[in-house]
Amino acid sequence: MQHKIPTQDLGPMGDLMAEAVQKCVHCGFCLAACPTYKVMEQEMDTPRGRIILMKDVLEDSLQLEKALPHVDQCLGCLACETACPSGVEYKHLLAPFREKAEEERPPNLLNRLRRKLLLITLPHPKRFRLGAKLGRLAKPITGLLPKTLRPMLELLPSKLPANENLEAYYPAEGKLRARVALLTGCAQQVLAPEINRATINVLTRNGVDVIIPQDQQCCGALAWHIGEAETARNNARANLKAFPSDVDAIITNAAGCGSGLHEYSLMLKGEPEEKEAEQFALRVKDITVFLDQLGIETPPALTRPVKLTYQDACHLRHAQRVEDPPRRLLAQIPNLEIIEMDEAEICCGSAGTYNIDQPETAKELGQRKIQNLLNTGAELAASGNIGCLTQLRTHLGKRERPRVMHTIEILDAAYRQKLT
């Protein structure tokens, strides 16, 4: 696509933004992969349409306010990148554009309040736990709140798990095979601390020393994806210092966090830490990728046959191109049958804070996902991201089946013979 984008005015990421526009050839392969197009069926709510809108804004031929409704509807799931035959790196355009848009966005008091609340709570586990407790008390008056603030309360679970403080080091069982550092996540520590515990259990059982860097911060993905780029950069710089360099891998067990760490070189483009960020990203591995490469001890056979379906987290399948490793690991559990659901690769509607910022579209995608999940008849559903797990559980409502678990929780339960 030809353009007249003034790259020199866009800072270090200007060339990357222009390259993403230039590579687009209008072929339309991205339309079938785009979740919002499946819901809205509008050209401007597709990656192709949004690229044109962002190009026009950058060329100063379109007002930002006219493009924002469509760009804000983008999940950032990157399914378009997987589908694109021309190699358009959509993230190189979307995230920097959102940073620029945030600087020029027309004022909206309630929206700014919502975003500020998210930024000062979600990335900070202690604050988030306190905020979640207060939010649960306020749930009975949700209907009295402004519409834009309601989803934050509606997504809170009825009960929070107990707080769990992790040690700085967990030694391997048996012969030492590897040494890793674990990113523990932010919201995950509050909403599902059992995921980190299961991760440590499975790693140590398979001969891996686990280090928990005590100075680690939020991965920065939340701030990065809503245009608060300087906050994201500060998170990235802190984590570059916090994580040791003498480990075999930096392990993530939340797809969004893993994707965020892989994007540090983009966040820090043109900064003194750019090269360091590139090297850092090379050591980042999702827990399923690491275990698949390492090789695991075969879990004991389940006491009866169990059917499971797997939901691909977007930032695992599309952003990190991880599709087979989780399935291969689960397939090693004797008596566990994996049934593929329709549209497993389509976003569930969580997408970071999307189900808070765009609740109507997120709800439609969530209900669509649940129907596909139920159609499999599986009694277990696995995914690799806390946001997806929360979204699935929310839209399953009071249904007892399928039980929704993180991939690593299923492996851990199988080892402990607690899955059936």
Q: Are residues 96 and 209 in the same domain?
A: no
326, 406: one domain: yes
Contact criterion met (CB below 8 Å) for 21 and 1: yes
Say whether both 400 and 363 belong to one domain.
yes
> Are 230 and 130 contained in the same domain?
no
Q: Are residues 348 and 244 in the same domain?
A: no
Domain for residue 218, yes or no? yes
Residue 264, domain member (yes or no) = yes
Q: How many Cβ atoms are within 10 Å of 184's Cβ, its own excluded?
A: 22
Apex 366 CA angle, 139 and 106, nearest 5:
70
Q: Which of 292, 326, 344 marks a domain boundary?
A: 292
Written as one string, the DSSP assignment of 365-420 is: HHHHHHHHHHHTT-SEEEES-HHHHHHHHHHHTT---SEEEEHHHHHHHHHTT---
Kindly report, residue by residue over 395-408, the tens digit of the pLDDT.
998 888 899 999 99
Mark which of 292, 309, 338 sits at the end of a domain: 292
227 with 335, same domain: the answer is no
Residues 94 and 149 in one domain: no
Domain contains 316 = yes
- Please indicate whether residue 87 or residue 398 has the higher confidence score (pLDDT): 87
| Total of domains in the chain | 4
Same-domain check for residues 189 and 140: no
Is 192 in the same domain as 233? yes
What pTM does this model have?
0.92
Residue 13: domain span = 7-104
Ordered strands of the 336-338 beta sheet: 336-338, 306-310, 380-383, 403-406
Same domain, 128 and 235: no
Q: Domain for residue 420, yes or no?
A: no
Mean pLDDT, residues 261-284: 95
Chosen domain end from 292, 319, 354: 292
Q: How confident is the model at residue 309 (pLDDT cuts 50, 70, 90)?
A: very high
Return the SS3 of 225.
helix
| Backbone dihedral region for residue 345 (phi beyond 0: left; psi -120 to 50: alpha; all else: beta) | alpha
Side-chain half-sphere of 9: how many Cα atoms within 13 Å?
Answer: 8
Q: Looking at the structure, do residues 217 and 308 belong to the same domain, yes or no? A: no
Instruction: Please provide residue 335's backbone torsions phi and psi, each rounded to the nearest 5 degrees.
Output: 80, 5
The answer to the question of residue 160 being in a domain is no
pLDDT value of residue 109: 80
The mean per-residue pLDDT over the stretch 253-264 comes to: 96
CATH number at residue 206: 1.20.1050
Residue 313 confidence (pLDDT) above 80: yes
**In a shared domain, residues 275 and 351:** no
The vertex-317 CA angle with 315 and 322, nearest 5°, equals 115
Rounded mean pLDDT, 337-362: 92
Q: How many C-beta atoms lie closer than 10 Å to residue 389's C-beta?
A: 26
Look at residue 164 and tell me if it is in a domain.
Answer: no
| 1 domain-assigned | no
CATH number at residue 23: 1.10.1060.10
Secondary structure of residue 272 in the 3-state scheme: coil
Query: Does 302 fall in a domain?
Result: yes
Q: Is the dihedral of CA 298, 313, 284, 386 positive or negative?
A: negative
